[in-house]
Amino acid sequence: MRYLIKFSYDGSKFNGFQSLKSHDGVQNKLDEALSIINKAPVHCKGAGRTDRGVHAYNQAAHFDLDVNVPPERLKRALNSLVGDYIHINECVEVAKDFHARFNVQRKRYIYKIYQGVYDPLLFDYAEFVSKPLDVALMQEGAKLYEGVHDFRDFVSGVRKNYEAIIYEVKITKDGDYIIISFEGKSFYRYMVRNLVGALIDVGLHKHSLEELKSALNGGKIHINTAKAKGLYLEMVSYEEK
């Protein structure tokens, strides 16, 4: 049987999503729990990787079991085995040809910037920016990201194709927090963190909107990559909008 799970995790407690020899990836914990239930090795496949320190409200993964377990029972069993920093939110049966990564239609990431009085208890869960940010200007900059662009200046590593579509970018204020939301289909390595870093620099008046626009059309600007701790994978959707 093939199953799809959606789950949350505290990224500060893991060395990223990917399975590692050190066994401190989120995927390691899921595989270990699934293998106990299956009484044979299981390797789940995620909707995408998140780096060390990145959190998730609703990451997704699929896997095959040799045993037929009702989804709600499987969800409860997994939650009893994966530890305190992962929680299975949903478990459903899927078709044998379903793939958690290749069938994705949309993903949404959010980034949390904290502008209040420094709080060490928030250190692992938001990016602290002490200087005032020009949120209105950041909102203008965010709109430049929407649509299809060549994001090569915002991606780490070498790829054959840097083109991606971002459907919507929203910036909102919630008390001492500035929340940046990105919804698209494909996000490459460090892409969201670099997009956020550039917006923070726009908000600090270190980059102009024209410089940001130029970077989306082959121009070059220096980008400070935003820290992983403020990034959350909020949604993975397999339905076309």
Q: Which residues are annotated as catalytic?
A: 51
Residue 20 CB coordination number (10 Å): 14
Token readout for 38 is 């299956």
Length of the chain: 241
Smallest Cα–Cα separation from 215: which of 137, 172, 162, 176? 162
Instruction: Estimate the crossing angle of helix 135-145 against helix 191-203, to 10 degrees.
Output: 140
**Helix/strand/coil (H/E/C) assignment for every residue in 193-218:** HHHHHHHHHHHCCCCCHHHHHHHCCC
Task: Give the residue carrying structure tokens 């949350």.
Answer: 8
Write down the number of H helices and E strands in the chain.
5, 10
Q: Each residue of 126-152: b (16+ CB within 10 Å) or e? A: bbbbeeebebebbbebbebbeeebebe
Whether residue 227 contacts residue 53, with contact meaning beta carbons closer than 8 Å, is answered with yes
